[in-house]
Structure 1
Amino acid sequence: MKRIYSVVALMACTLSAQAQQSTSGSGSSPKPEQHFKAEQDTAFARGSGISLANLNQQQLDNLTVLGRVWGFAKYYHPAVAAGQFNMDAELFRVMPKVLQAPNLKVRSQVLSSWLTDLGPVAACSACREPKPKDVRLQPDLDWLTDTKQLGPELSQQLLYLRQNRNQGPHYYIGAAPQIGNPLFEHEEAYRSAPGNLPDDGLRVLALFRYWNMIDYFFPYRYATGEDWQQVLPEFLPQFVGARTPEQYRLAALALIARIQDTHANISDGDPVIARYRGTFYAPVQVRFVEGQPVVTEYFDPQLGPATGLLKGDIVLSVDGRKVQDLVTERKPLTPASNEPTQLRNIARDLLRGNTEQVQLLVRRDGKELPFSITRHLPSKLNLLYNLGTPDPKAPAWRRLPSNIGHLTLGTIQNKELPGIMQEAQGTKGLIIDIRNYPSDFVVFSLTKYLLSKPAEFVRFSVPTPTYPGLFSTTEPLQVFPGKGKPYAGKVVVLVNELSVSQSEYTTMALRAVPGAVVMGSTTAGADGNVSTIVLPGNITTRISGLGVYYPDGRETQRIGIVPDVEVKPTIAGIKTGRDEVLERAVAYIENGAPLVK
């Protein structure tokens, strides 16, 4: 699996591989391609043709209601689910009429007529409410009864649709095989020239599409820290008012940041975002240590030291701008589940820019020193330091002094585990370092060497495509022992803000090992297989598509894996090249150092 900026949770990729293996080579004929009426509606393939200049408050209110009703119909109406309607095209046809509505009564009549035109909805005998004990998240549909916004007739029409919703396959929504995270299907990217500005109607579509995807298919909607219903009207003026490709993407990035999910971002694969962040990189790594942006590593053994910067230097300003001001400015545009991860991401881009030279002011040993350093294209640097695995070919296993094993998952391969665990037998302790992203999925293959009996370690919440917005909980998943005797030494797991997604999932499994201790600092707080979203202008982003919880229901999203023993690097330690987290793990295994939590 490739490393990407917002890495994919790999917890169920093994199941996916098994599913593919079970169906491949079976000799069965491929299913005939199915054609849908929605695909034949190409009237707006080149754009909406809608201009939205100088909207008044009534029109903004009209669009807000339209966005909710359109999204509800998209995911609930049986005819839409059957692929009979291109909902982008439907939006562009009804939007001008809704914009012209002078009041609630006319707006409701327009929307009611549009819903009626989607076709009759038969009574649904199978549409029952789920048992409360099985529900992790209810649909956010209180607005359906708000007659002050909908009027009584439209409200009743929508309530009827809820009670008689689609119960079959869905044209716009699928589920990953044997996993269940949502697959957003048949969503047009509206590609044109790279880095284009989609027209006004397409930008409103982008907001409506994303907002409704989160409202109905984001398992952590409740954890955003705000009322998601209020986000729609807040962002309408920003999407309508964007007049450059950059303004549009920054509006999208600010919206994405509001879901508080480290998996969610817009990658540098988008050329406009790449230019915004900067095409040149300083050859030094910066991370927040003791709350300050500190030089921690060199991205190149010659170019890094040539800057004159030393490990432990504190960056005070970049091109004359105070770092604290840059942090304040960039936080709303930096998606992340928690503050340590948000600062991690800000630090990665802090010294990026579009000029080869950058002026820095740093503090070293109490003195403020100016530097003019040269930035480089990323191809000249080893940016894998940012992922915690600068050398993908480095051995995963080594034996530390005092007979202690150190296993780094950033370069592990499953085929190596039998030999590694054989060599680990008889060591005092095993340090499993997950301050990185695992290069192979070892949740079940590693824990079998450490357990004497099965242990529960996780449960999930999964979306219900036939009741959009509803997430149900699964039974806990277990890890199992192998055939041999379990490893007898102490087990310590190292994590920090670089530990994200599969790293966190692996840590949860290892935490189920009796006596295992997790050391380090809070992880990135984003677990669960990711689902991809595409927005007009060919903007690609992602969300955590499954909810991940401890067996007792405790949260992981936004919180991360909270270590049993918190140990963080210090500026003094960085200056002297020490790995203080690893040192603490060694001390615990070697001397039984007390675990001060």
Structure 2
Amino acid sequence: MKKYFALLVMLWGMAVFGQKKVQNLNFETVENNFPAVWKTIGSSSGKIATDHQEKQEGQSSVAIESSEVSGFSGLIYKLPDNYLGKKITLSGYIKTENISDGFAGLWMRIDPEIAFDNMQKVGLKGTNDWKKYEITLNLSPENTKQIVIGALLSGKGKMWVDNLTITVDGKEIEEAKVFEKQLTRADLDHEFDGGSKITTTNLDKNNIENIKNLGLIWGYLKYYHPNVAAGNFNWDYELFRIYPKIANASAEQRDQILTEWIKSLGDFKTINYPEQKNIKMKADLAWITDSGFSKDLTEILLKIKTAKREESNYYVTMIPNVGNPNFEKENPYAEMSSPDVGFRLLSLYRYWNIIQYYFPYKYAIGEDWKNVLQEFIPKFIEADDQTKYPLACLELATKINDTHASVRNSTVRNYFGQKFSPLEIAFIENKAVVKNYFDETLGKETGVKIGDIILEVDGKTIEKILEEKSKYLPASNHSARLRNLARELMATNNDYINLKFSSNDVIKNVSAKTYKNTEIKYTQKQPEMFTMLDNQTAYLYMNNIDKEKLSDIFKKIKDTKGLVIDLRTYPTQFVVFDIGNFLMPKPEQFAKFTTTNTTSPGNYVMREGASVGSNNKDFYKGKIAILVNEYSQSSAEYHTMAFRKAPKAKVFGSQTAGADGDVSYFMFPGKIPTTITGVGVYNPDESETQRIGIIPDVEVKPTIDGIKNGKDEVLEKAVNWIKN
């Protein structure tokens, strides 16, 4: 024990001042007309080179130029150290020329999957002179493997970047302390790095019951036992140690083994937790007494319920000032393209228990989550190849009925298809309708017209496709699921897709050519951020919003009759409070939140939420029409909740995606990323938003005739209300 402790002391380390030098942030050191120590990244054929003529300071800058609509080009530099602190800021100067179909920006990423920003929300495009920009990320030094920075150009045009600086908590990076990672016992356990050593699993009724109960107890101990929460055990690998002992055991044997295992985790203190107030959802721990466990096992599990837990947990932390869970410590096992049966069982346990204790809407899933655990045991055990396993992960994620839920990797993409028809589909009047062409030239070549109704794809009816693929389409409600299906209807791995469609009541068939995403020239033009629909009606399109222009815009529209705010998209910038200050005569509460913590995981408490607006006698006094539909999700829903509090505001449109609240990320083993809603968001009266979405004041849906005639019927309804 003394030797082990001495080893820990040596490995734990301290933050020190010595660090490697950060080089060439001003691009003055040049090799072969390219900045030294920097490298290129990107998916387009853009040109990147040193420019000695155009620079913000010194002798040179870097120019990035592209003529391609799709893809991006950029620079990357890996910082030489990991730094101790709370925030890291990258700042620098950018100049742009004729940027379209994308944006220019600085970017910074903290790996693995800790934080990222590429200035996409800023929406820097067009032609702009030199201006300083900055991005700031929250540091997590104990979880960081590397920090990388750079600049990028997405779309067409040209950008220059120069004079970069990096600060940590406001101090130049040269003054920052280097962080030496503190290793716990969990970090030092590498016994199963090469595999779980579990080769077979019996799926008879008795063993499925054992696996289910082990999953319940394993996850409970992970988040409730203080010695596990402290990082004293590699909890993934403890699963591989305990499972072979209880596999195929009788209930009596299993309970005895599990009792002794829990005792081996060490002693802990207990406390009487005060009763929490304003609980929206209680942790589901009734299974401890309802599962028929032995007296000894039940008693020790109940004792752990009262264990004194610290606010820190090795496996989960809570994002400051937000409250959504952060699962950075979950090992992605990136080298495992096809995890063995033990790691697949770990995948199921990991996801299921995260939902059990850290999903704010578990109560709204629509079924007993414990039944889902039992249902998916054979699915994960039998998912024994690189196709079945990711799809099992996606099917599990779909079960939580959350539009934020997702599972993305190449296998999932291949399941739906890597090639696409240039037709944009939307479900209108419960039919799959061609809403537009992504690429006008290629779209017209199909012979299918805007407003035509798709009846079959490759011999399958739309109803049959929905039936087959619904289990792989995560969504909070039916509207969002149809939205997601519409995106995938025209996807295939074949060179042609066979369509049966109705065109003006005439049934037709066509074999339409498909294309890789990079081959489609997306010709649709987005609306301008701001325009006047007429001399009394203003229009804001939130996908192009620029907060720096808002003051001038509201001066221009001060005396207009009405303002349309189009949120049938995702806002590129978070401007809830910026715009809210122009719309409100006084502060108005528009949302409440639920969060949990690491001392009482699964108990979600309702807390006071956010207010928008300020005391402002010069607020905008015209009517405000807010447009929403199934594409209004998350931030769009949050903006709508705030803006509808304005005195003369109404929401027009249809059911939104029903997924509000900050997103939490983690990985299935095999480095398969997934997301969930991490914070509960409610109306001020504590009524639901999840799954239900935003309920419009005036329900308006597009019609097939409207699509054929190029009408925006939702916008027309809103404008008529403003005028009348």
Contact 1:402 1:590 in 2 (8 A): no
CA distance in 2, matches of 1:147, 1:70: 15
Contact 1:464 1:472 in 2 (8 A): no
Determine the structure 2 residue equivalent to 1:300: 439
The 5 A counterparts of 1:259-270 are 259-267=400-408, 270=409
Determine the structure 2 residue equivalent to 1:139: 283
Amino acid at match of 2:169: S
CA drift at 1:23: 7.3
Determine the structure 2 residue equivalent to 1:183: 326
Tell me whether 1:529 sits opposite 2:657 in the alignment.
no
CA distance in 2, matches of 1:18, 1:185: 15
Contact 1:146 1:155 in 2 (8 A): no
Contact 1:511 1:517 in 2 (8 A): yes
CA drift at 1:480: 1.9
**Which of residues 359, 378, 381 in structure 2 aligns to 1:218?**
359
Tell me whether 1:577 sits opposite 2:710 in the alignment.
yes
Contact 2:622 2:648 in 1 (8 A): no
CA drift at 1:143: 0.6
- Residue-by-residue CA offset, 1:277-300 (whole Å, 9 max, x unaligned): 100010010010000000001011
Deviating more after overlay: 370-379 vs 17-26: 17-26
- Residue-by-residue CA offset, 1:529-585 (whole Å, 9 max, x unaligned): 000020111111000000000111010000000100000000000001110000111
CA drift at 1:403: 1.8
CA distance in 1, matches of 2:300, 2:342: 26
- Residue-by-residue CA offset, 1:216-262 (whole Å, 9 max, x unaligned): 00000000011111111111011011122211122111111110000
CA distance in 2, matches of 1:203, 1:391: 44
**Which of residues 373, 380, 389 in structure 2 aligns to 1:232?**
373
Amino acid at match of 1:336: A
Determine the structure 2 residue equivalent to 1:5: none
Tell me whether 1:313 sits opposite 2:456 in the alignment.
no
Amino acid at match of 1:114: W
Contact 1:530 1:543 in 2 (8 A): yes
Matched length: 566
Contact 2:621 2:648 in 1 (8 A): no
Q: Tell me, what secondary structure is at the counterpart of 1:475?
A: strand
CA drift at 1:32: 5.2
Contact 1:82 1:170 in 2 (8 A): yes
Q: Pick closer, same or farther for the CA change 1:447–1:18 going to 2, 3 Å.
A: farther
Tell me whether 1:39 sits opposite 2:187 in the alignment.
yes
Determine the structure 2 residue equivalent to 1:342: 481
Tell me whether 1:25 sits opposite 2:173 in the alignment.
no
CA distance in 1, matches of 2:597, 2:335: 34
CA distance in 2, matches of 1:580, 1:483: 34
CA drift at 1:313: 0.6
Contact 2:284 2:602 in 1 (8 A): yes
**Which of residues 180, 183, 207 in structure 1 aligns to 2:348?**
207
CA drift at 1:379: 1.4
CA distance in 2, matches of 1:295, 1:240: 41
- Residue-by-residue CA offset, 1:326-373 (whole Å, 9 max, x unaligned): 011111211000000000001100110001111100011111100111
Determine the structure 2 residue equivalent to 1:130: 275
Determine the structure 1 residue equivalent to 2:411: 272
In structure 1, runs of 5+ residues without a counterpart are 3-7, 592-597
Amino acid at match of 1:449: F
Q: Pick closer, same or farther for the CA change 1:19–1:60 going to 2, 3 Å.
A: closer
CA distance in 1, matches of 2:657, 2:702: 17
CA distance in 2, matches of 1:324, 1:483: 52
Contact 1:405 1:427 in 2 (8 A): yes
Tell which has more relative contact order, 1 or 2 (C-alpha 8 A, sep 6+).
1
Contact 1:165 1:467 in 2 (8 A): no
Determine the structure 2 residue equivalent to 1:59: 207
Determine the structure 2 residue equivalent to 1:156: 299
Determine the structure 2 residue equivalent to 1:94: 242
CA distance in 2, matches of 1:568, 1:147: 49
Amino acid at match of 1:342: R
TM-score by length of 2: 0.76
Q: Pick closer, same or farther for the CA change 1:467–1:519 going to 2, 3 Å.
A: same
Amino acid at match of 2:714: V
Q: Tell me, what secondary structure is at the counterpart of 1:243?
A: coil
- Residue-by-residue CA offset, 1:85-141 (whole Å, 9 max, x unaligned): 00011000000001041x1110001111111111112223xx41433x321111000
Amino acid at match of 2:455: L
Amino acid at match of 2:298: S
Determine the structure 2 residue equivalent to 1:291: 430
The 5 A counterparts of 1:392-541 are 395-481=528-614, 485-541=618-674
Q: Which has the higher strand share?
A: 2
CA distance in 2, matches of 1:370, 1:541: 38
CA distance in 2, matches of 1:258, 1:96: 29
CA distance in 1, matches of 2:594, 2:349: 25
Deviating more after overlay: 515-524 vs 51-60: 51-60
Q: Which has the higher helix share?
A: 1
Tell me whether 1:116 sits opposite 2:263 in the alignment.
yes
CA distance in 1, matches of 2:406, 2:528: 32
CA drift at 1:478: 0.5
Contact 1:19 1:178 in 2 (8 A): no
Determine the structure 1 residue equivalent to 2:311: 168
Amino acid at match of 1:224: I
TM-score by length of 1: 0.91
Q: Tell me, what secondary structure is at the counterpart of 1:493?
A: strand
Amino acid at match of 1:576: N
Contact 2:682 2:688 in 1 (8 A): yes
CA distance in 2, matches of 1:216, 1:54: 28
CA distance in 2, matches of 1:365, 1:172: 58
Determine the structure 1 residue equivalent to 2:145: none
Q: Pick closer, same or farther for the CA change 1:431–1:282 going to 2, 3 Å.
A: same
CA distance in 2, matches of 1:22, 1:434: 36
Deviating more after overlay: 456-465 vs 474-483: 474-483
Contact 2:426 2:434 in 1 (8 A): yes
Q: Pick closer, same or farther for the CA change 1:419–1:261 going to 2, 3 Å.
A: same
Contact 1:531 1:542 in 2 (8 A): yes
Tell me whether 1:373 sits opposite 2:506 in the alignment.
no
Amino acid at match of 1:343: L
CA drift at 1:482: 6.4
Q: Pick closer, same or farther for the CA change 1:239–1:301 going to 2, 3 Å.
A: same
CA drift at 1:57: 1.3
Q: Tell me, what secondary structure is at the counterpart of 1:476?
A: strand
Contact 1:449 1:484 in 2 (8 A): no
Contact 2:583 2:613 in 1 (8 A): no
CA distance in 2, matches of 1:316, 1:298: 18
CA drift at 1:69: 0.5
- Residue-by-residue CA offset, 1:51-91 (whole Å, 9 max, x unaligned): 23442211111111000000001111111111110001100
Q: Tell me, what secondary structure is at the counterpart of 1:474?
A: strand
CA distance in 1, matches of 2:493, 2:331: 32
- Residue-by-residue CA offset, 1:141-177 (whole Å, 9 max, x unaligned): 00111251x2111011000000114223110010112
Amino acid at match of 1:144: I
Contact 1:449 1:482 in 2 (8 A): no
CA distance in 1, matches of 2:610, 2:203: 52
**Which of residues 362, 368, 379 in structure 1 aligns to 2:501?**
362
CA distance in 2, matches of 1:117, 1:412: 57
Q: Pick closer, same or farther for the CA change 1:146–1:165 going to 2, 3 Å.
A: farther
Q: Tell me, what secondary structure is at the counterpart of 2:247?
A: helix
Q: Pick closer, same or farther for the CA change 1:78–1:144 going to 2, 3 Å.
A: same
Supply the RMSD in Å over aligned alpha carbons: 2.2
Amino acid at match of 1:57: K
In structure 2, runs of 5+ residues without a counterpart are 1-104, 108-115, 123-134, 140-165
